[in-house]
Amino acid sequence: MRVSAPVSWRWSRFAWPGMAAGVIVVLALVAALARHGPSTHDGGGVFVEDYLRRAVGQHHLITSDPDEVRRFLVRELGIEVGPLRASGLELRRVEICLLEGRRGAMIVYAKGGASVSHYVVPRRDTRPRKPTLSKPTDPVLSATLPVVTWSTDALEQALVGDLASSELMQIAEGEVLQ
């Protein structure tokens, strides 16, 4: 006759490997999130992703009137920012977007046959930074769209579009000087 082991001993003998496997899975997920966590605005990739999906959100305004865009940005984001004033840029529309959980705006322009988007994202913890040419972290995107990022005391900004990187940089530098 065979005597069976107490139930608690059998359960613990099988439970420990399962719990250990669970801990390993959780640690692997934490490590993966740390490696592939949210990108920073400096990297530019977050702007390209949003540009390609044409912004998140339902609030938008189709207009070429800079004053309407200013009022829209004050109403929706509480920021006093107007459209870019660079020569050759034609204002098309403004949309609310979501970047890394922060609500911002994407102001869309046309220049010749090219489309250019200017992102403005309010942030209290931003330090001023000069315009910098960034490349998206995704190698496929980096071959297609240049990104210029910069910031002021309260705004993260970026330009993404179908223009050459030198043209985007010239527009951003002109905006910072104004």
Question: Is residue 114 over pLDDT 80?
Answer: yes
What local confidence, expressed as pLDDT, does residue 162 receive?
87
**Within 13 Å of residue 176, how many CA atoms lie on the same side as its CB?**
22
What local confidence, expressed as pLDDT, does residue 38 receive?
47
Measured distance CA(136)–CA(131) in Å, rounded: 15
Residues of the chain with pLDDT > 70: what percent?
A: 60
Residue bearing tokens 């439970």: 15
What local confidence, expressed as pLDDT, does residue 137 receive?
60
> Which pair of structure tokens corresponds to residue 145?
């769209």
Q: What is the pLDDT of residues 11-46, one digit of tens each?
A: 455 555 555 555 455 455 445 545 554 445 556 766
**Do you know the residue count of the chain?**
178
What local confidence, expressed as pLDDT, does residue 107 receive?
95
The helix (H) or strand (E) run that includes residue 36 is: none
pTM over 0.75: no
